[in-house]
Amino acid sequence: MRKNILFFTLAFALVATPVKEAEAANPWAAIIKAAIKKVVKAVDLMIQRRQNKVIRLQNAQKAIENTMAKLQLDEITDWVKKQRDLYKKYYDELKKVKAVIAYYFKIKQIADKNSKLVDEYRRFWGLVSNDKHFTTQELDYIFKVYVGILENSSKNVDLLKMIVESFTMQMTDAQRLELIKNAADKTDQLYSDLTRFNQENAMLSISRAKSQHEVDVVKKLYGIN
């Protein structure tokens, strides 16, 4: 049921997302952005629920400690053994909950970086597409590179969705960690590729400036000191 809800929520995001001018030419950015927002929202909600459970378990542990403080020294050993058996499953659950929360924070970080990648694409494409230092053919090439990066980012969002759904399926911690590592590595590589490509194009534009004043203007435009 939870998988179906997340699937239809993501599907609704893909239909309902408005198309901006830059996205009209390349709808991948809007699709990825909407999907990322839904993944992050689902992660935040699950983190909140897990954290509430941690608090309840911690309160139970505190209650045990407070009761122990009131016991006579010669009664503690026997009492602790009984309580250890009674609350063992709760302690085990506490460890599991903390591990799950750690997973979700990692997933959220990856989703946030994918969102940052889309924002950077939007910002830079808006600059380059209006830069007279680039020919139409060069802009076509730049656009194709962006499409490739965004398509891979879209696949990465699908991987994030799979990781979120893995908590309702039979999957070992090792398998889940491997998925998270793959998603993080791919996101880092895509973001690195995008920023390097943007930097190269900015420097190319600067090299084509015909005066120092024009150089200064272009540097300011692209945020280069």
pLDDT digits (tens, 9 = 90+) for 104-131: 788 888 888 888 888 898 899 999 989 9
Q: Quick one: what percent of the chain has pLDDT higher than 90?
A: 23
Of 18-22, 91-95, 181-185, give the lowest mean pLDDT range. 18-22
Task: Report whether pLDDT(152) > 50.
Answer: yes
pLDDT band at 204 (very low <50, low <70, confident <90, very high): very high
Tokens 């309160």 correspond to what residue? Answer: 59
pLDDT computed for residue 5 by the predictor: 39
Average of per-residue pLDDT across 60-81: 57
What gap in Å lies between CA 93 and CA 96, rounded to an integer?
5
pLDDT digits (tens, 9 = 90+) for 34-51: 777 776 676 667 667 666
Region of residue 223 (phi > 0: left; psi between -120 and 50: alpha; otherwise: beta): left
Q: DSSP 3-state assignment of 106?
A: helix
Task: Report whether pLDDT(95) > 60.
Answer: yes
pLDDT band at 195 (very low <50, low <70, confident <90, very high): very high
pLDDT computed for residue 208 by the predictor: 92
168 vs 144, residue with greater confidence? 144
pLDDT computed for residue 16 by the predictor: 42
Contact 108, 157 (CB under 8 A): no
Mean confidence (pLDDT) of the chain: 75
With vertex at residue 105, the alpha carbon angle to CA 101 and CA 107, rounded to the nearest 5 degrees, is 115
Task: Report whether pLDDT(69) > 80.
Answer: no
* pTM, 2 dp: 0.62
What is the token pair recorded at 207? 């090299």
9 vs 138, residue with greater confidence? 138
pLDDT computed for residue 106 by the predictor: 84
Average of per-residue pLDDT across 10-24: 43
82 vs 123, residue with greater confidence? 123
